[in-house]
């Protein structure tokens, strides 16, 4: 059964309200099948565990003689992990702390104040808990606020919280700084493949490349072994720049058959390749599944900045990256069409990008 794009299939219950109610067992609609549940034995990495690469990108910003070293590190990370952390990235720590404080204040505001910004499936913009309109989907243990930041024409300030008073200004400044960082990283990724540094930016929409922000709030969960803060998925866009919680880890990336904890470096951003780069590079660089654990002891905040293609541009494998002995792996599709999948189904591993494979 389909649902109008303005409606969710059932009333939305914020996870924060469930957590604050003092329940000792989570509702059945949040309980994952046994095969999808996290193993508590692997909640913490041992000294022998794997770690995603950490890259100093100051040479890319300053144009120093270590630029080639940084480019090589990015290329290696994209091939081997699809994830990496960047340090010395140029985004001021003071701005980051102001962003954390402003949004923490919003999520701590009365529930009715937050519900005034409730979102709907058509755009997702605003305050919500659910991803996908499939009524049979098992839900995740988290709330979020989703915003369109860039280009300016996509921004709807009526959906932006008015309180705290500095939230809008701080969020706009943060979006501009992280978009600048994202474009620099996309140039580096393009160059690392032997393409012109602006090839990917042109292919994905130039000045019309979009920036959106999802502020994630994961309240305490009484049974974290039965659910997830966010189910396994790859991101649909170009790249994601994540500002993780500074105190509580919870994000894991899939490496082979293992789920590896990401241990955020102080002051770092976590960057991951998303589906559209996998498509454009003909799977030379691949997006990678990741997920978020629930936590019984601590709440957790994170900020995911999604850099996405212009919505109406058809994206397929770049001819320059398809060898004479191979063929394009993916059918071209616009991002507007592509993202409807997750808006209908919610996060479902890598099934979305795999569905594009050419016959």
| pLDDT for the residue numbered 353 | 75
SS (H, E, C) the chain: CCCCCCCCCCCCCCHHHHHHCCCCCCCHHHCCCHHHCCCHHHCCCCCCCCCCCEEECHHHHHCCCCHHHHHHHHHHHHHHCCEEEEECCCCCHHHHHHHHHHHHHHHCCCHHHHHCCECCCCCCCEEECCCCCCCCCCCCCCEEEEEEEECHHHCCHHHCCCCCCCHHHHHHHHHHHHHHHHHHHHHHHHHHCCCCCCHHHHHCCHHHCEEEEEEEEECCCCCHHHCCCEEEECCCCCEEEEECCCCCCCEEEEECCEEEECCCCCCCEEEEECHHHHHHCCCCCCCCCEEECCCCCCCEEEEEEEEECCCCCEECCCHHHCCCCCCCCECCEEHHHHCHHHHHHCCCECHHHHCCECC
**The pair of three-digit structure tokens given for residue 273, joined into one six-digit string:** 């390749």
Name the pTM for this structure: 0.94
| pLDDT for the residue numbered 326 | 82
Measured CA to CA, the distance from residue 62 to residue 54 in angstroms comes to: 18
| pLDDT for the residue numbered 19 | 98
Segments in the chain below pLDDT 70: 1-6, 40-49, 342-349, 351-352, 359
Measured CA to CA, the distance from residue 276 to residue 316 in angstroms comes to: 8
Per residue in 22-34, pLDDT (tens digit) is 999 999 999 999 9
């Amino acid at each position: 059964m389909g649902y109008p794009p303005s409606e969710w299939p059932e009333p939305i219950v914020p996870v924060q309200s469930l957590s604050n109610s003092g329940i000792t067992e989570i509702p059945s609609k949040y309980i994952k099948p046994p095969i999808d549940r996290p193993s508590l034995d692997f909640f913490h990495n041992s000294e022998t565990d794997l770690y995603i690469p950490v890259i100093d990108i100051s040479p890319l910003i300053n144009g120093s003689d270590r630029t080639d070293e940084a480019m090589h590190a990015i290329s290696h990370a994209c091939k081997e992990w699809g994830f990496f952390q960047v340090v010395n990235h140029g985004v001021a720590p003071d701005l980051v702390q102001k962003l954390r404080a402003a949004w923490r204040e919003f999520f701590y505001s009365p529930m009715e104040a937050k519900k005034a910004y409730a979102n709907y499936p058509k755009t997702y913009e605003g305050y919500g808990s659910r991803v996908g309109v499939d009524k049979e989907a098992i839900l995740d243990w988290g709330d979020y606020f989703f915003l369109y930041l860039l280009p300016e024409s996509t921004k709807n300030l009526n959906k932006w919280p008015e309180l705290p008073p500095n939230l809008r200004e701080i969020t706009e400044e943060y979006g501009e700084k992280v978009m600048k960082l994202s474009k620099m990283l996309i140039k580096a990724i393009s160059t690392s493949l032997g393409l012109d540094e602006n090839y990917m930016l042109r292919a994905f929409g130039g000045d019309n490349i979009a920036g959106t922000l999802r502020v994630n709030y994961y309240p305490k969960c009484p049974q974290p072994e039965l659910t997830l803060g966010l189910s396994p998925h790859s991101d649909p866009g170009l790249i994601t720049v994540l500002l993780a919680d500074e105190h509580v880890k919870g994000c894991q990336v899939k490496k082979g058959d293992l789920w590896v904890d990401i241990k955020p470096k102080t002051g770092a951003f976590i960057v991951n390749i998303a589906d559209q780069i996998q498509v454009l590079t003909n799977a030379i660089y691949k997006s990678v599944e990741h997920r978020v654990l629930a936590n019984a002891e601590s709440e957790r905040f994170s900020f995911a900045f999604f850099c996405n293609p212009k919505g109406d541009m058809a994206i397929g494998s770049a001819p320059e990256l398809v060898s004479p002995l191979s063929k394009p792996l993916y059918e071209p599709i616009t991002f507007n069409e592509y993202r409807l999948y997750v808006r209908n189904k919610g996060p479902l591993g890598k099934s979305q990008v795999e569905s594009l494979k050419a016959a």
